[in-house]
Amino acid sequence: MTKSESLDAIMKAAPVIPVVVVDDPAIAVKLAEALVKGGLPAIEITLRTPNAVDCIRAVAEDVEGAISGAGTVLDARQMAAVEKAGAKFMVSPGAAPDLLRAAADCPVPLLPGSATASEMMALGEAGYTHLKFFPAEAAGGAAFLKSVASPLPQFTICPTGGITLQSAASYLALPNVPCVGGSWVAPSGLMAKGDWAGIEALAREATALKSI
């Protein structure tokens, strides 16, 4: 399976890819278990905490059915670390030249960030067909992605940034958007309380977006 095919399968596994910030591997496992039970297998664990790589490894090793991913990947060093930890996909907020060069040598597929038509076209020239649109709400929202669907139909896009359960449907109705990235399914308040049932319920709500 090519990197593009892998990303396609991951992006079509569920209508929402949870974007989570977690620093304790034990909590990461509990969180991932709740999200998977709720129907969201692909989980983007952002590299914004000291122990994020350990969290990615714990989810990859200990949570059946989870597709452990790494978010906020910015350089080759981080790529090597998350590959070793067992990440199945990587996500970046942008697409700097050095990042793309490192990604070409890494077996883990990268979902690079883009915010304009020109950035999308540049990534297309680099061989990418699956992109992140970030920051989605600030960069034009669903209206922007609708406008580029016709002139740039070759791209499959995961918008992320400011999306809520209420606004997700407008994105998922577009032909170029199989999923959205969302942090609302793993709120810090519920995580702090260990309310895994509450997070599972949020995941089920997100999963139901597929049938709307």
Active site residues: 44, 132
Q: How many CB atoms lie within 10 A of CB 194?
A: 12
* Sheet architecture: strand order including 113-114: 113-114, 130-133, 156-159
Q: Which residue has the tokens 């999308």?
A: 120
First and final C-alpha spacing in the chain: 30
Helix or strand (DSSP H, E) at 172:
helix 165-172
- ω into residue 153 within 30 of 0, thus cis? no
Q: Which two tokens stand for residue 11?
A: 């992006």
Cα 98 to the center of its chain, rounded Å: 21
Helix or strand (DSSP H, E) at 59:
helix 52-62
